[in-house]
C-alpha cells in the first residue's frame, strides 16, 4: 500500500475489476443503467389523454342528429303543379284540358307525329319488341343500330358515327372520354347544363370565354400559348379542346364557326361542336351549322345530341 | 320446436313446409304461400354466398398469360413504330399532324394488343328481339379483328344467356302489346321537352302511380334513362359537407353520381358489415376531416344485386346499422327489381322488410321490364323534392310514351292486375330456373360466385385465352354467352356471366348445361374444390366399415 496518493494505473484498475466479487459488479452495472435511463426519460405530461373512452363515443353517436334527407319544398313550387299534357305534343297540344298552339316543345321539323315515322317505328316494334335488354357490348347491338350509324356518317359526310340512347348523356360522357385530368378545355359561358356536367366529370382545367366573343377566346388561347412556351415538355402532352354549341340552348344564337376553325389551326386545339338544336335545322340539307357556313366537316370532331360523328381514329377508342 | 327456416321438428323428423308447395302454384288470396309465412323469409336464413378462390397454379398461369401478351405487345408496337408491320389503327389526318395526339399510346396499350385479339366476342350484332332465342349476325374478320365484315348469313335460334331478360318480357310483338301500339299511334314517338316544361304526359302520371303501388311506397318519379337517373339525382340529394359510403363494387353510374355531387366518398369492402360499421362510427364520432365539424348527412349507396358478382346486399344488417347511426340508405335495384322476391318486388320483399326502412328506392326498367328508363321512389316529400330539384327533370327530356306504356303493361302483368297469374308464374319460373341452373353448375365443379338465389351467375374462367375460346365455341354450338374481362373485373378474374331468364325452358337450360359440361372438360375450367366425389356408388353408404 502506497502512502502517497494512489496512482491511477490502468492495468491495476483492470486487475481490480477482475478480482471484484460478482454481486458488486452487478449492482454497479444496474446503477449505471438506471442513471442513463433517468437522464433520457421524458418529463411528466400534465394534459389528459386525447383518446375518447367507449362511453364518450356512444354518447356522441346518440347525440348526433343529421339533417333531414330532403329539405321541405313549398306546396306552391311550380314543379309540383306542372302542366299535364294529354295527347301527342304536336303543333296543337292539349295542356291541362285546354287546346293550345305549341310553342314549347322541341319539334322543329314536325316529325314527332309524322305517319311515315310512326309506321317505321311500328314495324320495328313488331320485329324487335320494345327494349334492348343489354348494353352495346353484350348483345345490345342490333342491325338497325349499325344501319343508323352508317347512314348518319354518310349524311354528315364523315367516316363513322356512334349513337347513344339518351341525349343528355351523349355530351356528358363524350367530353370525359377524350379530355382527362390535366387537359385544357375552352368553353363558352352560355354552354348548356349537359356540357357543364361533362366538364365536371372530366376533371380538366376549364377556361370560360364570353359568349360568342372570339376576341376573348383568342386572348385566352394566347395566354395559354405563353404558358406553353415556359414549359414545352408539359405542353406536348396537354390536349386542348374548344367546346361550343351550334345553336345555343340558353341564348338562341349561332356560334361563329369560320373564326373558330381559324383559331383552331392557329393554336392547335380540337373543336367539339354540340349540335342538338342545330342538327336538322341549319344548313341547306339540315346538316347543321357546318353546312350553314360551308365548312368541310372533316375539319373538326362533332358531337350531336344522341350521336357522335368524326373520324375513325376518334371513335375507335370511344366504342370500347 | 320450430327452427327459423320454416320447418317444424316432430319426433325427430323435420317437416319442411316449403316442400309441399314447391312446384305447384300454391296461392291463397292471390299471394304466394311462401310470402305469408313469417319464419320462412330470407330475413332469418343464413346467407349462402360463395367466392371461392382458385387454386394457385391457375393464378400463376393467368398472370403468366398476361405477361406473355404484354411482351408480345411491346414487340408488335416496336415493329409498328419502325414501319416493319403495317399499322391498322387509325391515324391522325394530315392537317392535324402536329396537334397533340388525342390518345397517349400507352393508354391504348391494353386495347391495341390484348383486347383486339379477342374483340369478336363483344358487340355482336343481333337481328331479332332479345328473347330466350335470338338471331345473331355472322361476322368474320380478315385482319385479326381490326375490321369486321358481315358474311350475310344469320345464325338463327341461338339460346340467349347474355341479355338481361329476367322475366322474359322482351319478345316479339304479340297481341298483348296492343296497348303499346295504340300509345305509339296516339302519342307519337317522343316528347320534345323536359319534365318542367311541356314534357309531362298523363301517361307519366299513370306510370308513377303504378310504380308507387308496385313498390308499396308513397310516391315515385320516372326518368328517361337508367344510368342518368343515378348520375343526376345523387347530386340533388347530397352536396358538399355530406358523406357518401359506397360499396367497393358499385356500378359506374353510382360512382359518377357520387363524384358529381361534391360530397366526400368513402368506400367499404364489398358486403362487409364490419367495414361499414367502422366507417360509420368513425364518421359520426370524428366528423369531417380536419375541421371536425359534424357531417350534414350520411348516405349509404348499395345495389340490390351486383351485376358482376351475383351477390345480394345484406339488407337486414344494413338497415340495422342505418337505424343505429341515423344514416340514409339508397338502394339501386337495377337487377333485382322484378327478379327477386316471391312476387317480384325486389330485394325489399326478398328479405321481407318494411318499405319505410329504405329511404331511396332506385331502379331501372331496362332489365326485367323490357323497356328503358329509371325510377326513384320513396316518401312523398323525397319525391316532391326531386320533382323540383332534380337535374334530369329540369334539363333532360322525359320518357317517351310507348315505352311508358310498355312498362305499365309489364308492371300490371307482374302485379296480376290484368287478370291472369302469368306474372306470378314468371317470377316463380325464374326462381326455379335460377336454383336449378346454379345447383347443376356447382355440381359439375365450376367456380360460381354469388348468392344462390340470384339470377346473375358468374362462372370464373381466369385466363384470357380461355375466355375467348369459351365464347367462340359456345357460339358455334348456338349458345350466346357474355364474357367479361379487365377492366370491368379485376385483372386475374375474367368470367362468363349468365343471366337466367323465366323464358328459358328446362330443355334450353339442359342443352346449355350439357354444352358447358363439355366445354369445361375441353378447356379444363372446372376448378372448384367442392366437386362431388368421383365414386357415385358410395353416396348411399352409411358406414365405411369393412364387411367381414
B423: helix, coil or strand?
helix
* pLDDT score at A34: 94
Exposed (0-12), middle (13-18) or buried (19+): which is B414, by Cβ within 10 Å? buried
Collect all residues of chain A within an 8 Å Cβ-Cβ radius of residue B119. Answer: none
* pLDDT score at B300: 94
- Report yes or no: B370 and B165 within 8 Å, Cβ to Cβ: yes
- Give the nearest chain A residue to B393 (CA atoms): A79
Which pLDDT tens digit goes with each residue over B367-382?
888 888 899 999 998 9
* pLDDT score at A279: 80
- Give the nearest chain B residue to A141 (CA atoms): B125
Which pLDDT tens digit goes with each residue over B429-467?
999 999 999 988 888 888 998 888 889 999 999 888 899
Q: Where are the domains of chain B?
A: 50-160+422-530, 175-415
Collect all residues of chain B within an 8 Å Cβ-Cβ radius of residue A166. Answer: 224-225, 227-228, 396
Q: Could you tell me the CA-to-CA distances from B147 to A139, A151, A312, B125, B141 in Å, in that order?
A: 18, 18, 12, 14, 6
Q: How far A31 CA sits from the closest chain B CA (Å)?
A: 46
Say if B94 is an interface residue toward chain A (CB within 8 Å). Answer: no
Collect all residues of chain A within an 8 Å Cβ-Cβ radius of residue B190. Answer: 112
Question: Which tops the pLDDT comparison, A8 or A35?
Answer: A35
Stretch 187-226 of chain B: residues touching chain A, C-beta under 8 Å: 187-193, 195-202, 205, 224-225
Question: Which tops the pLDDT comparison, A295 or B402?
Answer: B402
Cβ contact B172–A129 (<8 Å)? yes
Span of A9-23, B42-56, B379-393 with lowest mean pLDDT: B42-56
Which pLDDT tens digit goes with each residue over B22-40?
444 444 454 444 444 444 5
Confidence of residue A29 (pLDDT cuts 50, 70, 90): very high
Picking from A60, A127, A197, the nearest residue to B284 by CB comes out as A60
Report residue B319: phi and psi, to 5°. Answer: -65, -40
Question: Which tops the pLDDT comparison, A108 or B269?
Answer: B269
Picking from A57, A122, A320, the nearest residue to B285 by CB comes out as A57
Say if B173 is an interface residue toward chain A (CB within 8 Å). Answer: yes
Cβ contact B284–A64 (<8 Å)? yes
Average pLDDT score over residue span A279-303: 71
Q: Which CATH architecture has domain B175-415?
A: 3-Layer(aba) Sandwich (3.40)
Please state, for a pLDDT cut of 90, what percent of chain B lies above it. 29
B479-480 vs B482-484, strand pairing mode: unpaired
What is the predicted ipTM?
Answer: 0.80
Cβ contact A104–B396 (<8 Å)? no
Cβ contact B170–A167 (<8 Å)? no
CA B435 from chain centre, in angstroms, equals 17
Span of A46-50, B71-75, B245-249, B302-306 with lowest mean pLDDT: A46-50
* pLDDT score at A303: 44
Picking from A66, A134, A314, the nearest residue to B164 by CB comes out as A134
Average pLDDT score over residue span A19-30: 90
Cβ contact B100–A238 (<8 Å)? yes
Q: How far A249 CA sits from the closest chain B CA (Å)?
A: 11
Domain B50-160+422-530: CATH class, spelled out: alpha beta
Cβ contact A317–B102 (<8 Å)? yes
A164: helix, coil or strand?
coil
Say if B285 is an interface residue toward chain A (CB within 8 Å). Answer: yes
Cβ contact B127–A84 (<8 Å)? no
Average pLDDT score over residue span B335-358: 89
CA B350 from chain centre, in angstroms, equals 16
Picking from B180, B185, B371, the nearest residue to A118 by CB comes out as B185
Collect all residues of chain B within an 8 Å Cβ-Cβ radius of residue A85. Answer: 191, 198-202
Q: How far A221 CA sits from the closest chain B CA (Å)?
A: 15
B450: helix, coil or strand?
strand
Please state, for a pLDDT cut of 70, what percent of chain B lies above it. 86
Q: How far B311 CA sits from the closest chain A CA (Å)?
A: 19
Stretch 349-408 of chain B: residues touching chain A, C-beta under 8 Å: 359-360, 365-367, 369-372, 381-382, 384-389, 391-397, 402-403, 406
Name the pTM for this structure: 0.82
Q: How many CB atoms lie within 10 A of CB B186?
A: 15
Cβ contact B173–A298 (<8 Å)? no
* pLDDT score at A308: 54
State yes or no: pLDDT of B363 exceeds 50.
yes
State yes or no: pLDDT of B114 exceeds 60.
yes
Collect all residues of chain B within an 8 Å Cβ-Cβ radius of residue A172. Answer: 231
Q: Could you tell me the CA-to-CA distances from B347 to B25, B335, B336, B486 in Å, in that order?
A: 22, 10, 6, 28
Say if A104 is an interface residue toward chain B (CB within 8 Å). Answer: yes
Question: Which tops the pLDDT comparison, B35 or B348?
Answer: B348
Which pLDDT tens digit goes with each residue over A106-161?
777 777 777 888 888 888 888 888 878 888 888 888 888 888 888 888 888 777 78
The residues with which B194 forms a beta bridge, in sequence order, are: B397
| Calpha distance A27→A35 (Å, rounded) | 12
* pLDDT score at B369: 87
Cell digits of residue B96: 392535324
The dihedral sign for the CA sequence B491, B492, B496, B499: negative
Residue A52, Ramachandran bin (φ over 0: left; ψ between -120 and 50: alpha; else beta) = beta
* pLDDT score at B37: 46
Say if B325 is an interface residue toward chain A (CB within 8 Å). Answer: yes
Q: How far A112 CA sits from the closest chain B CA (Å)?
A: 6
State yes or no: pLDDT of B399 exceeds 90.
no
* pLDDT score at B89: 62
| Calpha distance B465→B211 (Å, rounded) | 44
Say if B508 is an interface residue toward chain A (CB within 8 Å). Answer: no
| Calpha distance B372→B227 (Å, rounded) | 10
Which pLDDT tens digit goes with each residue over B185-234?
888 777 777 877 777 888 888 999 999 999 999 999 998 888 888 888 99
Q: How far A176 CA sits from the closest chain B CA (Å)?
A: 11
| Calpha distance B320→B40 (Å, rounded) | 20
Collect all residues of chain A within an 8 Å Cβ-Cβ radius of residue B260. Answer: 197, 200-201
A251: helix, coil or strand?
coil
The residues with which B2 forms a beta bridge, in sequence order, are: B8
Collect all residues of chain A within an 8 Å Cβ-Cβ radius of residue B285. Answer: 52, 57, 60-61
> Angle between the A167-178 and B226-237 helix axes, to the nearest 10 degrees?
80
**End-to-end Cα spacing for chain A:** 100
State yes or no: pLDDT of A7 exceeds 80.
no
Amino acid at each position: 500500500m502506497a502512502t502517497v496518493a494512489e496512482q491511477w494505473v490502468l492495468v491495476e484498475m483492470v486487475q481490480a475489476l477482475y478480482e471484484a466479487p460478482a454481486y458488486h459488479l452487478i449492482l454497479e452495472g444496474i446503477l449505471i443503467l438506471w442513471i442513463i435511463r433517468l437522464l433520457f426519460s421524458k418529463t411528466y405530461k400534465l394534459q389528459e389523454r386525447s383518446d375518447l373512452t367507449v362511453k364518450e363515443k356512444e354518447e356522441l353517436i346518440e347525440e348526433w342528429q343529421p339533417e333531414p334527407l330532403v329539405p321541405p319544398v313549398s306546396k306552391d313550387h311550380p314543379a309540383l303543379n306542372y302542366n299535364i299534357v294529354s295527347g301527342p305534343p304536336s303543333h296543337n297540344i292539349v295542356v291541362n284540358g285546354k287546346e293550345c298552339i305549341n310553342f314549347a316543345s322541341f319539334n322543329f321539323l314536325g316529325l314527332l307525329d309524322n305517319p311515315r315515322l310512326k309506321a317505321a317505328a311500328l314495324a320495328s316494334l313488331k320485329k324487335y319488341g320494345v327494349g334492348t335488354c343489354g348494353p352495346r357490348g353484350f348483345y345490345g347491338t342490333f342491325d338497325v343500330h349499325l344501319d343508323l350509324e352508317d347512314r348518319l356518317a354518310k349524311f354528315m359526310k364523315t367516316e363513322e358515327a356512334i349513337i347513344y340512347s339518351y341525349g343528355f348523356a351523349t355530351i356528358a360522357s363524350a367530353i370525359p372520354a377524350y379530355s382527362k385530368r390535366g387537359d385544357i378545355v375552352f368553353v363558352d359561358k352560355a354552354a348548356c347544363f349537359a356540357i357543364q356536367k361533362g366538364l365536371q366529370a372530366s376533371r380538366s382545367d376549364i377556361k370560360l370565354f364570353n359568349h360568342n366573343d372570339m376576341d376573348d377566346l383568342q386572348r385566352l388561347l394566347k395566354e395559354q400559348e405563353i404558358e406553353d412556351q415556359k414549359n414545352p415538355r408539359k405542353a406536348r402532352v396537354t390536349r386542348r379542346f374548344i367546346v361550343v354549341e351550334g345553336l345555343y340552348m340558353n341564348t338562341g344564337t349561332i356560334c361563329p364557326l369560320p373564326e373558330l376553325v381559324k383559331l383552331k389551326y392557329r393554336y392547335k386545339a380540337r373543336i367539339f361542336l354540340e349540335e342538338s338544336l342545330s342538327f336538322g335545322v341549319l344548313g341547306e340539307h339540315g346538316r347543321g351549322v357546318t353546312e350553314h357556313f360551308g365548312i368541310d366537316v372533316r375539319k373538326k370532331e362533332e358531337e350531336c345530341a344522341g350521336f357522335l360523328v368524326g373520324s375513325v381514329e376518334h371513335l375507335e377508342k370511344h366504342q370500347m | 320446436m320450430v327452427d327459423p327456416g320454416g320447418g317444424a321438428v316432430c319426433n325427430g323428423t323435420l317437416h319442411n313446409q316449403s316442400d309441399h308447395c314447391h312446384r305447384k302454384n300454391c296461392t291463397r288470396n292471390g299471394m304466394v304461400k311462401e310470402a305469408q309465412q313469417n319464419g320462412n323469409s330470407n330475413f332469418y336464413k343464413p346467407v349462402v354466398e360463395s367466392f371461392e378462390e382458385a387454386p394457385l397454379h391457375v393464378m400463376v398461369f393467368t398472370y403468366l398469360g398476361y405477361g406473355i401478351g404484354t411482351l408480345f405487345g411491346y414487340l408488335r408496337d416496336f415493329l409498328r413504330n419502325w414501319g416493319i408491320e403495317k399499322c391498322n389503327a387509325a391515324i391522325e389526318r394530315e392537317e392535324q399532324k402536329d396537334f397533340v395526339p388525342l390518345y397517349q399510346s400507352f393508354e391504348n396499350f391494353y386495347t391495341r394488343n390484348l383486347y383486339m385479339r379477342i374483340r369478336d366476342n363483344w358487340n355482336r350484332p343481333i337481328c331479332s328481339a332479345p328473347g330466350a332465342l335470338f338471331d345473331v349476325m355472322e361476322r368474320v374478320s380478315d385482319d385479326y379483328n381490326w375490321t369486321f365484315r358481315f358474311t350475310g348469313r344469320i345464325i338463327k335460334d341461338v339460346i340467349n344467356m347474355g341479355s338481361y331478360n329476367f322475366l322474359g318480357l322482351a319478345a316479339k310483338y304479340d297481341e298483348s302489346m296492343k296497348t303499346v301500339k295504340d300509345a305509339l299511334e296516339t302519342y307519337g314517338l317522343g316528347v320534345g321537352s323536359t319534365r318542367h316544361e311541356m314534357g309531362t304526359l298523363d301517361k307519366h302520371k299513370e306510370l308513377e302511380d303504378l310504380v308507387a303501388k308496385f313498390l308499396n311506397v308513397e310516391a315515385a318519379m320516372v326518368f328517361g334513362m337508367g344510368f342518368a337517373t343515378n348520375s343526376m339525382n345523387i347530386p340533388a340529394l347530397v352536396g358538399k359537407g355530406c358523406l357518401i359510403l359506397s360499396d367497393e363494387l358499385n356500378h359506374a353510374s353510382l360512382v359518377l353520381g357520387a363524384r358529381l355531387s361534391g360530397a366526400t366518398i368513402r368506400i367499404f369492402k364489398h358486403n362487409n358489415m364490419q367495414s361499414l360499421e367502422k366507417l360509420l362510427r368513425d364518421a359520426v364520432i370524428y366528423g369531417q376531416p380536419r375541421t371536425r365539424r359534424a357531417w350534414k348527412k350520411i348516405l349509404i349507396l348499395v345495389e340490390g344485386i351486383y351485376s358482376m358478382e351475383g351477390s345480394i346486399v345484406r339488407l337486414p344488417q344494413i338497415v340495422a346499422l342505418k337505424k343505429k347511426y341515423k344514416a340514409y340508405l339508397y338502394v339501386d335495384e337495377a337487377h333485382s327489381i322484378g327478379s327477386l322476391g316471391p312476387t317480384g318486388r325486389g330485394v325489399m320483399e326478398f328479405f321481407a322488410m318494411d318499405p319505410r326502412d329504405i329511404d331511396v328506392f332506385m331502379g331501372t326498367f331496362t332489365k326485367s321490364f323490357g323497356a328503358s328508363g329509371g325510377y326513384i321512389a320513396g316518401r312523398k316529400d323525397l319525391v316532391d323534392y326531386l320533382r323540383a330539384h332534380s337535374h334530369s327533370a329540369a334539363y333532360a327530356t322525359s320518357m317517351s310514351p310507348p315505352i311508358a306504356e310498355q312498362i305499365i303493361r309489364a308492371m300490371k302483368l307482374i302485379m296480376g292486375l290484368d287478370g291472369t297469374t302469368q306474372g306470378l308464374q314468371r317470377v316463380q319460373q325464374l326462381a326455379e330456373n335460377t336454383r336449378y341452373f346454379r345447383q347443376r353448375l356447382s355440381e359439375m365443379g365450376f367456380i360460381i360466385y354469388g348468392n344462390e338465389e340470384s339470377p346473375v351467375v358468374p362462372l370464373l374462367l381466369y385466363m384470357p385465352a380461355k375466355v375467348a375460346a369459351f365464347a367462340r365455341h359456345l357460339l358455334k354450338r348456338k349458345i350466346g354467352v357474355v364474357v367479361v374481362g379487365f377492366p370491368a373485373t379485376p385483372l386475374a378474374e375474367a368470367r362468363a356471366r349468365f343471366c337466367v331468364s323465366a323464358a328459358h325452358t328446362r330443355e334450353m337450360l339442359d342443352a346449355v348445361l350439357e354444352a358447358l359440361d363439355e366445354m369445361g372438360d375441353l378447356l379444363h375450367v372446372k376448378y372448384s374444390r367442392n366437386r362431388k366425389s368421383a365414386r357415385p356408388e358410395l353416396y348411399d353408404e352409411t358406414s365405411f366399415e369393412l364387411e367381414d
